[in-house]
Structure 1
Amino acid sequence: MAGLFDKQEAQARLQAQPLAARMRPRTLAEFVGQQHFLGQGKLLWRMLHADRLGSVIFYGPPGAGKTSLAEIIAQHTRSQFCKLNAASAGVKEVRTALDDARRRLETGSRRTVLFIDELHHFNRTQQDVLLPDVEEGVVTLIGATTANPFFSLVSPLVSRSRVFEFQPLSAADLLGLLQRALADRERGLGNTGVPAQPEALQFLAEVSDGDARRALSALEVGVLSLVGTDQPFDLACAQESIQKKQIQYDRTGDSHYDAASALIKSMRGSDPDAAVYWLARMLEAGEDPRFVARRIVICAAEDVGNADPQALLVAQAAAQATDFLGMPEGRIPLAQAAIYIALAPKSNASLVAIDAALDDIRNQRILPVPRHLRDAHYAGARQLGHGAEYRYPHDAPEGWIPQDYLGIDRHYYEPVPRGVEATFRQRLAEWRARRTAENRPGVTPGPAAGPSTTPPPSSGPTGSSPTSHG
């Protein structure tokens, strides 16, 4: 009788769970998605089948299967499986689990797999408690997190673990899960008698953004609301059942920086459609519009520059207008500026020039100010020779004199042959040739060599600026 009651109690507990919890995969065969590391013959697949799991961190968006995979591992490993949730557990619970694991190891019984869900909720001190036992192999850690571990976890813990990044489930994967839930009479909705129209399931699969929990929850709400009626689960019901999309966006984590990087690179890459999309995504997620405006201003100076000097004015005006208007109207000038910059001719010559000059300042001999350029407004300056032989450019018919202003022959600014800079390029080549001839008697100015397109060494990552996330 006790066994019968236990079975009935377990069944009652199962039915009380939400559909998403009831439909968790029980075996690797039922698990969908993540074939890039869990497909047959892939690394994690081999580790699990050999029961040789090392410490791992499962990182990815909600509803991608991190916890489900950990629970599958719990059922198949020969090790003792211990589960904690970092949102509710503290150092005491962690130490207890580690002490138990150490005793099991010392007595020669089973090893311990410690699963910590929402690991990013642990602060640095709590994470540091794990380090000695993870390093010594007392426990095998499985950490699950929706936050980028390289931002949210201490580096020693990350370095001692292998990170597996979970991708959002595809629409096809979600559609299969929804169909399975409708047909399953034991754990799913198979006993409700409510049919579902294909377009309704397809809608949920596509609008759930790869989140199985969200898709199954919407299906459950919609189907249960139709029990006892003769109505099918149709597209209208699916649209009512799905909650307003909550964009995964951490304003201090990788979602924030990834979206900002995508916006900048889309403007730099001259794609106004992509630029507007990433702008909209950031604003819809609640990003500070002032942060967005600053990215746009930076991009105007860094990636358009003097190829279209108007771009910086447009970006600055958009920033001021956004601050003046507030949201949601501020989205309009921001979009206008992002589109303008995306379609403007591109040049990073100003960025390359200032970074090259800074590199010389930091790593080369500091140049003295030429005597003819020094301040000569005070009494005695002329006696020191300051300002002597300086020639006033406005006295020349062209408003320009081939005068030396640096003291060495060094070129920093190399205009590109696009937009306004094409004119600058031609003018600068002529002036440089004439200045060289003036400062080297007997040299006749000839055609100037074209400027180098190779940027100087920069302290920033290749292809990006240290001043932006792009």
Structure 2
Amino acid sequence: MIPLPERLRPQTLEDWLGLESMGASLQNLFEAIRNDSVFSFILYAPPGTGKTSLALLIKKHTKSRFFQINAVSSGVKDLRDIFEQARAWKQRADQDSVLFVDEIHRFSKSQQDALLSAVEKGEVTLIGATTENPSFELNAALLSRVKIIYWDRLGSESLLEILQKGFELLKAENTSTEIKLDEDFLKILSESTDGDARQALQTLERLFPTLTRTRLADELKKAFLKHDKDAELHHQIVSAFIKSMRANETEAALYYLARLWEAGEDPLYIVRRMMIFASEDVGNADLRALAAMNAIRSSVEFVGRPECYYALAQGTILLSEAKKSREVGDRFQKALEKVRRGGSLRPPAFLTNAVTNFDRKSGKGRPREEGESYLPA
């Protein structure tokens, strides 16, 4: 059976929910789709927010020949075949071509390079979809030839509207089935799936027709949080955690700690970042911080998940509320600058050891003169 998210894809631009609340760039894009004047762009958005649905709507509205590939399963040969077909259709029927590349961030550098000439010459209009920041994943030459369009995860109101449509469709398809629907079931689901319409609809279909809070609570134990350890969001959450502690915003720091925890982050990775913070941001302003982090590391190693979150939370509160000083790092960086600027300068003679007679004759190991610097001259 076709999954509910697929059955519920918008069939027209008018079916698209939340269009009126979208930014100017997205409204301009929808106007271009209506006028069949789509330009090359990369759509950067979280999973389950409608990237593929938008591409399929473009396919419906355009008179251009439409090619669709997934970067995971396609290579340079596939691209060259498409470009040959695009040139042939242009020559034979004066028909333009649109190429939709899903998960375009998966393309290697050579595959991205293969797109450049065709896009630059106008042989294809490129539409790329990605969940990863294009600035990190796509090369500069390709980025300079396309527009980057970003939209955020779906808000709970838009997601609730989608879920209501999904529920009505399931109800219409199962007229002889007895349905149990707890009050606020759809609202709770809309607020618990991290803005991912696909996940929300799949959950609705799995639990149908017994849509109770108890079953939903069991289902939601399987976290929906996005947190790919190699992706940008992971680093954003870690950065938010560190910056919240730096700003003495304890509740925010605990929130981002909980985000890391709930997404399955390695507790030892978190402790490692906290130990760095203890030296970098607290430093000598509170000497207990580094000692406490060592104790917390031992606790985390010994106790492990799940109870080690007590130690992590304890450390987060301590670091967030401690006095801050970046003196340690700042002064060491100044020392590094002197080393890099001065090169391999020899220490003053009074700091060196006189091992041989020649050393002694050359002044090594001599007494320090009054006012003489300990630094190389």
Separation in 2, partners of 1:53, 1:372: 75
Structure 2 counterparts to residues 28-177 of structure 1, below 5 A: 28-33=13-18, 39=24, 42-177=27-162
Q: Distance in 2 between matches of 1:109 and 1:189?
A: 47
Partner of 1:209: 194
Q: Work out whether 1:311 is the aligned partner of 2:296.
A: no
CA contact (8 A) 2:194 2:225 kept: no
Distance in 1 separating the partners of 2:199 and 2:292:
41
The CA distance in 1 between the partners of 2:372 and 2:184, in whole Å, is: 75
The whole-number CA distance in structure 2 between the counterparts of 1:38 and 1:70 is: 18
> 2:60 & 2:238 partners in 1: Cα distance?
41
Tell me the equivalent position of 1:12. none
- In the TM superposition, residue 144 of structure 1 has moved relative to its aligned partner by 1.3
Return the match for 1:269 from 247, 254, 262.
Answer: 247
CA contact (8 A) 1:181 1:190 kept: no
Residue of 269, 294, 297 corresponding to 1:291: 269
Q: Give the alignment of 1:5-20 within 5 angstroms.
A: 16-20=1-5
Give me the whole-angstrom Cα distance separating, in 1, the residues matched to 2:305 and 2:143. 39
Q: In the alignment, which residue of structure 2 is the partner of 1:192?
A: 174
TM-score (norm 1): 0.71
CA apart distance, 1:308: 0.8
Choose 86-95 or 302-311, whichever is displaced more.
Answer: 86-95
**Corresponding residue for residue 235 of structure 1:** 213
Show structure 1 runs of 5+ residues with no match.
1-15, 227-232, 392-400, 409-470
Report what 2:163 is aligned to. Answer: 178
| Higher mean C-alpha deviation, range 110-119 or range 356-365 | 356-365
State whether residues 194 and 224 of structure 2, in contact with CA within 8 Å, keep that contact through their aligned partners in structure 1.
Answer: no
Deviation at 1:36? 7.3
- Measure how far apart 1:211 and its partner are: 0.8
- The amino acid of 1:298's aligned partner reads I
Taking only the aligned residue pairs, the percentage that are identical comes to 38
- How many Å apart are 1:370 and its aligned residue? 3.0
List gaps (5 residues or longer) in structure 2.
none
Partner of 1:219, secondary structure, is helix
Aligned to 1:323: 301
Match for 1:253 among 222, 231, 236? 231
- Distance, in Å, in 1 between the alignment partners of 2:356 and 2:295 is 41
Q: Larger helix proportion, structure 1 or 2?
A: 2
User: Contact 1:308 / 1:344 at 8 angstroms: preserved in 2?
Assistant: yes
* Structural RMSD (CA): 2.9
Structure 2 distance, partners of 1:30, 1:82, is 23
Greater RCO structure (CA 8 Å; 6+ sep): 2
CA separation of 1:56 and 1:280: change in aligned 2, threshold 3 A: same
Secondary structure of the residue aligned to 2:119 is helix
* Cα distance change of structure 1 residues 293 and 402 upon mapping to structure 2, 3 Å threshold: farther
Q: Which residue of 2 aligns with 1:359?
A: 337
Instruction: State the number of aligned residues.
Output: 374
- Alpha carbons of structure 1 residues 93 and 406: separation in structure 2 relative to 1, 3 Å: closer
Give 1:371 shift. 3.4
**Paired amino acid for 1:20:** P
Q: Tell me whether 1:334 sits opposite 2:303 in the alignment.
A: no
Runs of 4+ more than 6 Å apart? none
Q: Which moved more, 1:288-297 or 1:233-242?
A: 233-242
Does the CA contact (< 8 Å) of 1:55 and 1:161 recur in 2? yes
Letter in 1 for 2:305: M
Q: Distance in 2 between matches of 1:290 and 1:69?
A: 41
Q: Alpha carbons of 1:328 and 1:140: their partners in 2 closer, same or farther (altered >3 Å)?
A: same
- How far is 1:206 from its partner? 0.5
Quickly say closer, same or farther: Cα 1:346–1:34, change in 2 above 3 A.
farther
